[in-house]
Amino acid sequence: MTTPRNIDCSADYQVSFKKEEPDLFIDLKGEFGLKNLTVFTRDIRKAVSDPSIQNLTIDFSQVCYLDSAAALAFVQIEKEAAERKITCRLVNLSAEAKGIFSVIHPDVLTLRPFKPEQTREGLVSQIGQTSWSIGRDFVNFITFIGDLLSALVYTLMHPSTLRGKDVLFYVQRAGVDGLPIVAMIGALMGLIMAFMSYLQFKQFGANIYVPTLVSFAMIKELGPIMTAILVAGRSGSAFAAEIGTMQVNEEVDALQTMGFDPVRFLAVPKVLAAVIVVPILTVYADVAGILGGLIIGVTTLDLTFKTYITQSIKTIQVFDVVTSLIKAAVFAGLISAIGCQRGFQVRAGAQDVGKFTTSAVVAAIFLIVVADSIFAVMLYYVKRYGILA
C-alpha cells in the first residue's frame, strides 16, 4: 500500500483511545501489519471489553500501511463487536485500504482452526463415533468390492477391454522390482529362525529338526504373510497414492466424462497384476528362507548340504504348498483392492493423499492378519476332515 504524502510514518504504529460513554473512538496511526498484529489487536480487544461500550469507531485516516493480515484482524474485531451488540464503524479508509478489505471473503472468518478445539467427550460417545466410523468404512469397502468383482466379471467376458500393457507394467513394478527386498527379508527370516531354534534344540541334541522347523514355518505362515506385508507397504501404498493423485488432478472425473469406468480402467489391471505376482514372490520368499536356514545349518549345526535339503523336502507337503499359494493370492487381492479403494476416497489436496495412503497400508496389514487367522482355522479342519481325511 502506498504512503500518502500528508501522513507521517516516522513512528511504527500508534493506537489512541477516546471514550465518551457509550461511545469509544480509536485513532490509528502508522503501520499496521503482521509484525505488530498481536499487540494492537490485544490492546483494542481489551478496550472494547468494557461492558459500557455500545458504539465503536475506528479511524484509519492516519494509517500509512495496512496489509491483509491486519485487515483480517480488524474484520474479526468488527465481527466480535457485532456479536456483543456493539455497533462498529471503520471510517476514513483510503482507496488502497478499501481494496484490501474488499478481497477478504466472509467465509475466511468461519474456517476451522488448524488445531481442533479441545472437547470433552464421554467414553460412550467416543466408542460410538469410532464404531460408526469403522462400520461406515466397512460398508464402503464392501461396496467397492462389489464394483470390483463386477468389473472383473465384465473383463473376463470381454477380454479385449483388458489393458494388457498396464497389467504387465504393474507385474514388473509390484513383482520384479520387489523381488530383491522380498528375497533378502526371506533369507534373513530363515537365518534368524534357524539360529534361534538351534539355541533351543541343542539342549536336547535335536539339531536335525532345525531344517524341518524352518521349512514348515516359511511355507505355512511366514512366507505368505511376510511377502504380503512387504507388497502392502510397496505396492498397496503406491496404488492408493497413484489413484489419489489422479483424484486430486480430476483425472478420474475426466475418465468418467469420456465414458470409461474408473474401477475397470484403473483398479482391474492392478488387482490382476498383484494376484499374479504375489504367489510367485511367496515362492521366492520360501526358497530364500530355506536357503537362509541352510547357511546356519552348514556353518553352525554341522549339517551337510544334502542332509539339510533332505530334511526340508521331507517336511514339505503338496497340500501346504498349494494352500500357501492360495493364501498369497487372497492376500494380493485384499492388498490391491484396499489400495485402490482408499485411492478413490481421496477428495482434495496432498493431505488427503497422504492420509488415505497410510490408511491403505494399515488396513491391508490388518486384513492380512485377519485373513491369515481365518485360513489357519479353516485349513486345519479341511486337512483333518476334508481332502486328506
What per-residue confidence (pLDDT) applies to 330?
95
Amino acid at 62: Q
Name which of 290, 316, 310, 311 is nearest 223 in CA terms: 290
Angle ∠(262,234,139) on CA atoms, nearest 5: 45
Angle ∠(59,77,118) on CA atoms, nearest 5: 165
Q: Express each pLDDT in 328-342 by its tens digit.
A: 999 999 999 999 999
Q: Express each pLDDT in 40-62 by its tens digit.
A: 888 888 888 888 888 888 888 88
What per-residue confidence (pLDDT) applies to 56?
87
What per-residue confidence (pLDDT) applies to 8?
54
Mean pLDDT of 229-239: 93
Asked if pLDDT for residue 19 goes beyond 80, the answer is yes
Mean pLDDT of 275-279: 95
Q: Name the average pLDDT for the chain.
A: 85
Cα distance between residue 243 and residue 265, in whole Å: 11
Q: Hey, what's the cell of 388?
A: 486328506
For residue 170, the tally of other CB atoms under 10 A from its CB is: 23
- The DSSP bridge partners found for residue 19 are 24
Q: Is the dihedral of CA 183, 187, 190, 193 positive or negative?
A: negative
Pairing of the two strands 23-32 and 13-20: antiparallel
Asked if pLDDT for residue 4 goes beyond 70, the answer is no
Cα distance between residue 270 and residue 168, in whole Å: 10
Cα distance between residue 365 and residue 369, in whole Å: 6
What per-residue confidence (pLDDT) applies to 65?
82
Q: Express each pLDDT in 350-367 by its tens digit.
A: 888 888 999 999 999 999
Asked if pLDDT for residue 134 goes beyond 50, the answer is yes
Q: Express each pLDDT in 168-202 by its tens digit.
A: 999 999 888 999 999 999 999 999 999 998 888 88
> Is 121 in contact with 240 (CB distance < 8 Å)?
no
Name which of 189, 217, 208 is nearest 320 in CA terms: 217
- 359 φ/ψ angles, rounded to the nearest 5 degrees: -60, -35
Mean pLDDT of 221-237: 93
> Is 173 in contact with 238 (CB distance < 8 Å)?
yes
What per-residue confidence (pLDDT) applies to 387?
55
113 confidence band (pLDDT: 50, 70, 90): very low
Mean pLDDT of 90-110: 71
Based on the number of CB atoms within 10 Å of its own CB, is 8 exposed (0-12), middle (13-18) or buried (19 or more)? exposed
What per-residue confidence (pLDDT) applies to 11?
52
Name which of 359, 365, 330, 333 is nearest 346 in CA terms: 359
> Is 148 in contact with 340 (CB distance < 8 Å)?
yes
Cα–Cα distances (Å) from 309 to 100, 201, 204, 312, in that order, read 80, 18, 22, 5
Domains and CATH numbers, the chain: 13-110 (3.30.750.24), 140-385 (no CATH)
Asked if pLDDT for residue 243 goes beyond 90, the answer is yes
Three-class DSSP labels, the chain:
CCCCCCCCCCCCEEEEEEEECCEEEEEEEEEECHHHHHHHHHHHHHHHCCCCCCEEEEEEEEEEEECHHHHHHHHHHHHHHHHCCCEEEEECCCHHHHHHHHCCCHHHHHCCCCCCCCCCCCHHHHHHHHHHHHHHHHHHHHHHHHHHHHHHHHHHHCHHHCCHHHHHHHHHHHHHCCHHHHHHHHHHHHHHHHHHHHHHHCCCCCHHHHHHHHHHHHHHHHHHHHHHHHHHHHHHHHHHHHHHHHHHCCHHHHHHHCCCCHHHHHHHHHHHHHHHHHHHHHHHHHHHHHHHHHHHHHHCCCCCHHHHHHHHHHHCCHHHHHHHHHHHHHHHHHHHHHHHHHHHHCCCHHHHHHHHHHHHHHHHHHHHHHHHHHHHHHHHHHHHHCCCC
